[in-house]
Amino acid sequence: MNHSIFTIQNLILIFFIFQGCHASREFHLQYVFYKNLIYNEKLFGKFLHITDLHVDPYYLESSDPISFCHRYSPNPILNIAGKFGILSTPCDTPFALSNSTFEFMRSNFEDIDFIIYTGDAVRHDRDKLFKRTEDQVLDGHRRLVEYIQQYFDLSKIKFMPSLGNNDEFEHNKLPKGPNDLFSNLSQIWAPLNLNLTTHFLNGGYYRQDIHNKFSVLNLNSMYFYKKNKLLEDCNITDSAGTLQLEWLERELKNARQEKRMVYISQHVPPVDDANEELYSPACFYKYVQLIGKYSDVICGHFTGHTDKDTLAFVTADEEKDKYSIFALNETHILSTIATNNVVLTLTNAPSVKPTHNPAIRLYEYSTTYRNFGVLKDYIQYFVNLTEANEIGEAIWRVEYIASRTYGMNALGARDWAMVLKEFQSPDSETWRLYVKHITVSGP
């Protein structure tokens, strides 16, 4: 017997006895929790959220953006694609930027527990003269896994990807599973050691446990997305979206019963920054009602897709027992929003792809017994792409820290409701900063 471990275990036991933890069930739960935390997992309470890499292996520096940065123009003045990408064009991400992103993460974030990746690893299929093949799509997924294997220790840091709308063989098209993409991804993602059960093979979604008190539900938003014309809406009994919603409700119900908190991670948000519904009508309604109903166990909701840094709020109508959702952009009429009824906040992260300045996020979450998984803060890092191309080096800096920018102690629904109330104040400085950060405009 390892006497040092035996001694520590007894010290934990004695600690709870002297703390007055006499109720047998509460005693057992806390004892198991702390024993598991000490012996099985070394958790730092930090994770990264990155999204929309869109790595393009055919990107050409000093090429013409009108050719999606794939070809040079005979007119030299038009060849303006920078080493690290070019802003506000349809060009995707060059290796120089993706390499810089992973180098920065490896050098600065060794003390993280996991990485959430909310989709779109593969380049867009915009260039009619250079159409993507199925092999190129699969190579894009392999490249992402190779990045993670190269830059992180997967035995210590869990990497959890979700499917984006450009990660399929055809843009915005994904048939009901099982299908060739899911079977290929189950092999490509094998080094990630994910919990890819039959739910993934049939639907592209999976649950990953981080701790016995905390899980990440990685959804396949393509089965809700209204631009995916291969599928029926969620008012059809056996549609792909309906089956995913049923799975999600079972997972949320189990989490509530087990007093286990969850994050939801997926690519496409229910609404974009203009408050346009991005899901098919029935899927949208049912999804919002579901996350509203189980908002007590959802302590984080992460998406990408829009390339923008935005917030969306789920609010409760207690009289009608229904939930609504709205997103904030620079033109939103804030006075119409009831801040007292916020039950859940959805955070949409900006992309690495340089539609705007590239960005990633570092989150901090609680590892205490009663608040495990509750988000405490995040730091957003960005690259000034104009500067990077001028000096030939991508320098990652802090754009803002949520707690300081918005005056928050934590990132719960009540905390965000207070921020929303502050947004509504005349000449609100926090609202000005929010609007500025939507397009990753720097500190």
Residue 233 covered by a domain: yes
Structural domains in the chain (count): 2
Please tell me which residue, 30 or 256, carries the higher pLDDT value: 256
**At 103, which amino acid appears?**
E
Residue 402 lies in a domain: yes
- Decide: helix, strand or coil at residue 31: helix
**Is 274 found in the same domain as 132?**
yes
Q: What average pLDDT does the segment 273-278 reach?
A: 92
Question: What residues make up the domain containing 1?
Answer: 1-40
Q: What is the pLDDT of residues 26-43, one digit of tens each?
A: 444 444 444 444 334 579
> 292 and 162, same structural domain?
yes
Residues 308 and 322 in one domain: yes
CA-based nearest residue to 50, from 92, 85, 108, 98 = 98
| pLDDT number for residue 332 | 64
Domain for residue 410, yes or no?
yes
d(CA 186, CA 194): 9
Residue 337: per-residue pLDDT: 65
Task: Check whether residue 317 and residue 279 sit in a common domain.
Answer: yes
pLDDT tens-digit series, residues 286-313: 999 999 999 999 999 999 999 999 999 9
d(CA 279, CA 120): 17
Q: What is the CATH number of the domain that holds 168?
A: 3.60.21.10
Mean pLDDT of 91-116: 97
Beta strands 342-348; 310-317: pairing state: antiparallel
Inside any domain, residue 443: no
Sign of CA dihedral 266, 272, 275, 278: negative
Question: Are residue 312 and residue 333 in the same domain, yes or no?
Answer: yes
CB-based contact 259:251 (threshold 8 Å): no
Q: What integer best gives the mean pLDDT of the chain?
A: 90
Q: Do 156 and 36 reside in the same domain of the chain? A: no
Q: What is the residue type of 199?
A: H
Question: Using one digit for the tens of pLDDT, what is the confidence trace for 344-386?
Answer: 999 999 999 999 999 999 999 999 878 899 999 999 999 999 9
Q: Regarding predicted confidence, which is higher, 197 or 424?
A: 197
User: What's the pLDDT score for residue 426?
Assistant: 77
242 located within any domain: yes
Are the C-beta atoms of residues 292 and 314 closer than 8 Å to each other? yes
Whether residue 16 sits in one domain with residue 49: no
Same structural domain, 68 and 192 = yes
Q: Please write the tens of the pLDDT for every residue from 75-92.
A: 999 999 999 999 999 999
pLDDT at 340 over 60: yes
* 36 in the same domain as 51: no
pLDDT digits (tens, 9 = 90+) for 379-397: 999 999 999 999 999 999 9
Residue 443, pLDDT score: 82
Regarding whether 93 and 79 lie in a shared domain, the answer is yes
Q: Quote the percentage of the chain above a pLDDT of 90.
A: 80
pLDDT at 333: 58
Identify whether residues 59 and 8 lie together within a single domain.
no
> 35 and 61: one domain?
no
